[in-house]
Amino acid sequence: MKKIFLSVCFCLTIGVVNAQETETFKEKGYTLVFKNNYANLDPALKKRMVKTFFKVYPKLAEDFNKNTAKVVTFNVDTNYKAIAEAGGGRITFNPWWFVKSPGDIDVVTHESMHIVQNYGNGGGPGWLTEGIADYVRYKYGVDNPGANWTLTPFKPEQSYKNAYRITARFLNWLELNGNKGIVVKLDSAMRNHTYKDNLWKDLTGKTVDELWIAYAANPGT
């Protein structure tokens, strides 16, 4: 059995890395394969990650993509250096992030939406991909307050292309101001590879730049 050891100082501070463990969970017609090579992963956190997945993922499938993957793998990997990433039915998590930010459970929500999105290459702009995922985190998240996570307040220097929470706030404003359902339509176009810049005008009667100008003039609170 292969073991990976960190430096002595780091291990004493953070925890011990062991060989990968795998467990499978099934619920609501979906399967979650949970892989983990961090021996000190809090069992309560693991339970919460699993619970969050099964609470959120079926809803996202129903609302956005009924053909999304039925089997999803969580990979908690001490060798992964970013916070999390998703692709090919797999979500990789950095356990040190959860040590630092134990309340940030809706990383699961954001990354689960990436599995549902499944745009492939050429689906559309990256800023919109991440904006939709953070919009979903805002709308479907189980405990954003626990992570002190909110949509980014509007500032004049922002752009809809800033992605993540800035774009998500813009999308939420559109939903609340005469364009209900636009996120689902944009998401579908990205997945079907029918997204074009003029899609915004087709859906709303205005270009995305015109919509942003209207948003900037009255962004709300």
Tens-digit pLDDT profile for residues 168-219? 999 999 999 999 999 999 999 999 999 999 999 999 999 999 999 999 999 9
pLDDT at site 19: 73
Taking only the tens place, the pLDDT of each residue in 76-120 is 999 999 999 999 999 999 999 999 999 999 999 999 999 999 999
Q: Are 105 and 49 in contact (CB under 8 A)?
A: yes
pLDDT at site 1: 40
Tally of CB atoms within 10 A around 202: 10
Count: domains in the chain:
1
The yes-or-no verdict on residue 125 having pLDDT over 60 is yes
pLDDT at site 115: 98
pLDDT at site 18: 60
In a domain, 70, yes or no: yes
Torsion of CA 97, 102, 105, 107, to 10 degrees: -20
What is the chain's mean pLDDT, rounded?
92
In a domain, 5, yes or no: no
Six-digit token string for 79:
């060798």
45 by DSSP, 3-state: which? helix
pTM above 0.75, yes or no: yes
Domain range for 123 is: 20-217
Taking only the tens place, the pLDDT of each residue in 64-78 is 999 999 999 999 999
pLDDT at site 114: 98
What is the secondary structure of 103-144 as a DSSP string?
T-TTHHHHHHHHHHH---TTSS-HHHHHHHHHHHHHHH-S-T
pLDDT at site 221: 78
pLDDT at site 74: 98
Taking only the tens place, the pLDDT of each residue in 1-60 is 433 333 333 333 344 556 789 999 999 999 999 999 999 999 999 999 999 999 999 999
In a domain, 140, yes or no: yes
In a domain, 87, yes or no: yes
In a domain, 15, yes or no: no
In a domain, 75, yes or no: yes
In a domain, 114, yes or no: yes
CATH classification at residue 188: 1.10.390.10
Tally of CB atoms within 10 A around 50: 17
In a domain, 14, yes or no: no
